[in-house]
Structure 1
């Protein structure tokens, strides 16, 4: 792993949620995993059985990762070994996102989202008539 100093003058992040990562500096392995089930209805009606990830196959399917080639042997000399960043401004990081200033050897991020929209019959009939 290459050793460098990561220096950030200012960082402003409004929101960082759902398995997102802010990393300043070096890391060997970063792993983030997020899953979300969004059930959208016109009215706030809850039947009590919502939110079971096992009901939807997307959440039980394995994430297929392509095989990584072997890492080449790299020898580096940094005359100026510092990573200098002035200002970072981010509105939001969500659903297994990463912002990093530095070196990373291995990164694995996974996000699975299943979005369901329930439309009332009158909306469906109106769309079919158009």
Structure 2
């Protein structure tokens, strides 16, 4: 893997949360993974089994990764082997995201979110 110097003059990040990474410099493998349930309800009724990730098919299905069949050829000439960044200003890095300044050999990112909306049946709004 080609190595270069990563130089950042000023970096300001307000939040890095939920399995996220702030990486300055080279890395061999970057692997981000996150699962989340987003539940929206008209009323606060809890059934008790909402947080069971294996019960939802979206978290079990294998990711379909298409094969890469294109041949790629390029010529690289780095006169100055420095990755130079003057200023980075980020509000938030969240949900298995990566803020990376540098070289990476392999990057794999996966986020799976199950959205659930539980609405009351028509006519049952007064039962609340």
Cα displacement string for residues 44-92 of structure 1 (whole angstroms, at most 9, x for unaligned residues)? 3333222001111000001112223588676644221111111111112
Q: 1:8, CA displacement in angstroms?
A: 0.9
Which has the higher mean CA deviation after the structures are superposed, 36-45 or 77-86? 36-45
Q: 1:10, CA displacement in angstroms?
A: 1.4
Structure 1 Cα separation of the partners of residues 98 and 123 of structure 2: 39
Structure 1: tracts of 5 or more residues without a match: 126-130
Q: How do 1:1-80 and structure 2 match up within 5 A?
A: 1-69=1-69, 76-80=76-80
Cα RMSD over matched residues?
A: 2.5
TM-score (norm 2): 0.82
2:40 aligned counterpart, secondary structure = strand
Q: 1:19, CA displacement in angstroms?
A: 2.4
Q: Which residue number in structure 2 is paired with residue 91 of structure 1? A: 91
Bigger fraction of residues in helix: 1
TM-score (norm 1): 0.81
Q: How many residues align?
A: 125
Gap change, CA 1:13 and 1:69, over 3 Å in 2: farther
Structure 2: tracts of 5 or more residues without a match: none
Q: Which residue number in structure 1 is paired with residue 107 of structure 2? A: 107
Structure 2 Cα separation of the partners of residues 123 and 102 of structure 1: 58
Which has the higher mean CA deviation after the structures are superposed, 12-21 or 26-35? 12-21
Structure 1 Cα separation of the partners of residues 89 and 113 of structure 2: 26
